[in-house]
Structure 1
Amino acid sequence: GELPLDMQVKLLRALQEGEIDPVGSKRSVKVDVRIVSATNRDLAEQVRDGRFREDLFYRLNVFPIEAPALRERREDIPALVDHFIARFNIEEGKRVAGLSGETLALLTAFDWPGNVRQLENAVYRAIVLADAPFLQPHDFPAISGISSPPMGETAHGDSREPQGVSAAAQSRLSDIDLPPLPDTPIRILDERGHLRTLEEIERDLIQHAIEVYAGHMSEIARRLGIGRSTLYRKVREQGLEGALKDAG
């Protein structure tokens, strides 16, 4: 939607004639391409205003897909928030279980002029700064207008499950795929006090990493300091394919 008119001519020629003129070359080059394009502009209006070529518009507008704004599909907001919470928990090592009912109502009612990207950024900020298991309206100050916890909450937030939290969100406190608390190390001694074998410790460590990082093999390999191919080989050798499948 912002392509200059002179470049629109060149793109149209590439689509219609299947030819382009490489920079510095005196000969045209035949190309066979398929174009997938996206814009946040109203191209029909751009055509009427003379800012977009009509012939190029119809050439591109073969199979249009219109993605509605987030405010027009508010029912998607809870699922999107759940996705972002799970993702940012892993990336930031947090243990946020979900939203309070009041917070979910707040996010669902907001119009989100920046669409999904704005929602993603808002959830990320809330996750990074959160000090309680459930996100509250004050964790979204730009939306709620509340910049601090209500009087009576402790400095570390209220750890009780707030009213209006869904059962699914409550259950995430116990089974969320996050790094465990520091009191659950990998054991290096067996029941008799003897050192366990390296193979046994390695198996437990890989299984633990699979659970912690929800089966994301690239992240697991990075954390363990090994290559992905090595990690996949060790998963097979240690018989951990089932754990990997369960984590996914």
Structure 2
Amino acid sequence: MAIVGKEAISALRDSTKESGGNGERSTFTALKSGSTFLVKALPLENIAAYDSYGIFKKVNSFEAEKPSIKNARGFATDELTPWDLASKYYQDQVSDLIEAGKNKEDADVKPLRTKASDYRSKRKYIVPFIDLEAGEVIYIDFTKNQAESVISVIENYAEKGRLETTPFELSKTGQKTETKVSLMPAFKEDLSETAAKNFDELTAENVNVNFEGLTFVANEKAQIESLIASGFDVSLIDLEAPETDPTEAF
């Protein structure tokens, strides 16, 4: 996990409390479009941020075992991972075409920009909540824009001293680029008996926030294998396909 707590908030606005744990591994809870969770929000020092690679329906998301160095805009600048190199391969072609007078929306430029974006890391945020119906901590994975909307609500209620006394409805609507996430206050008197009991009994002080196991951490070999699985020719960035072990799988 890259950064946690206040550093994660700072990174969100600019572009590590250790996770507790007893050896158990946590899993993400899917916040699907059309779904709603009744939750208790935790203080902002309980969030985490990481840089995620992956291509939808081709390669499952992962974070690099040895993260690259990135600038304030989130672009890799040094100690590039194999996926950073693949992104750079396409971005360099884009830069050459634009320097030659092309427009970034031209038919021969736009596909290259898309490819560069596909292989570039995306900053993601993990926000834990107490699921009031289930009576347990859940972990939701957010994009930057989604995290901004959720975190602003948590921060606002924390500043007013009302975070511990306000239940929330966490929901998602829309599809693809139209997806929206909201965190809206709910009325305590409307909670079910179970939810009300959990709301009173479960607090930031007596629940365990554990980020262990949430993300898949890929070493260089696994990253190269995943590049090949995505259809990228690794010889273009002076890498070779690693020897395969039939007992292993990405």
Normalising by structure 1, we get a TM-score of: 0.24
In proportion to residue count, which structure has more strand?
A: 2
Q: Choose between structure 1 and 2 for higher RCO, CA contacts under 8 A separated by at least 6 residues.
A: 2
More helix by share: 1
